[in-house]
Amino acid sequence: MALLGALVGYLAFPPVGFWPLAVVGPALLWAVAARRKPLAASLMGLWYGLGYFLALLYWLVNTITDYGGLPLAISILSYLLLVAYLALYPALAARLMAHAASRGADAALLIAPFAWTGLEWVRARLMSGFGWGDTAQALWRQGWALDLAPRIGASGAALLVHLAASGLAWLLLSLGEKEGRPTLRGLAPSALGILLILTVPLVDDGLNPATEGEKIVIVQGNIDQAHKWEPAQRRETVEIHRRLTLEGVRKLGGADLVVWPETAFPSYFQTPSPLRDLVEETAREAGAPVVFGAPAFENAGGARTHRNSVFAVSGEGELKGRYDKMHLVPFGEYVPLPKLFFFIKRMVYTAGDFTPGERTVLLDPASGALPVGALVCFESIFPDYALEHAVGGARILALVTNDAWFGLTHAPWQHLCYAAWRAAETGLPLVRAANTGVSAFFDRRGRLLEVSTQAVETTLTATIQCPKPGKPLAASIQQLIGPCSIALALAGLFAIFALPARKPATDGSR
Q: Is 466 a residue of the active site?
A: no
Which position among 262, 333, 379, 425 bears the catalytic label? Answer: 262
Phi, psi of 356 (to 5 degrees): -70, 150
Give the span between the Cα atoms of 312 and 292, in whole angstroms.
7
Residues of the chain by 3-state class (helix, strand, coil), percent to 5: 50, 15, 35
User: Using an 8 Å Cβ cutoff, are 227 and 188 in contact?
Assistant: no
Is residue 484 among the annotated active site residues?
no
Angstrom distances, CA of residue 360 to CA of 268, 324, 369, 394, 466 = 21, 8, 19, 11, 20
Q: Tally the C-alpha atoms within 13 A of residue 241's C-alpha that lie toward its C-beta.
A: 35
Q: How far is CA 477 from the centre of its chain?
A: 18
285 phi/psi in degrees, rounded to 5:
-70, -35
Which residues, at least 6 apart from 100, have a Cβ–Cβ distance to it below 8 Å? 34, 107, 108, 110, 111, 112, 492, 493, 496
DSSP category for residue 397: E
Catalytic residue among 120, 214, 325, 484: 325
Instruction: Please state, in angstroms and as integers, the Cα–Cα distance from residue 439 to each residue in 18, 271, 394, following that order.
Output: 22, 29, 20
Is 320 annotated as catalytic?
Answer: no
**H or E segment at 474?**
helix 474-498
Strand 319-324 versus strand 210-220 pairing type:
unpaired
Q: Is 461 helix (H, G, I), strand (E, B) or coil?
A: strand
Candidates 132, 236, 219, 115; CA nearest to 461 is: 219
Element (DSSP H or E) covering residue 313 = strand 303-313
Q: Looking at 215, 333, 377, 379, which residue is catalytic?
A: 377
Strands (E), 92-151: none
The whole-angstrom separation of Cα 405 and Cα 436 is: 9
Helices in 12-101 by DSSP H: which ranges? 20-33, 38-56, 60-66, 72-101
- Whats the size of the chain, residue-wise? 510
Q: Which residues are catalytic?
A: 262, 325, 377
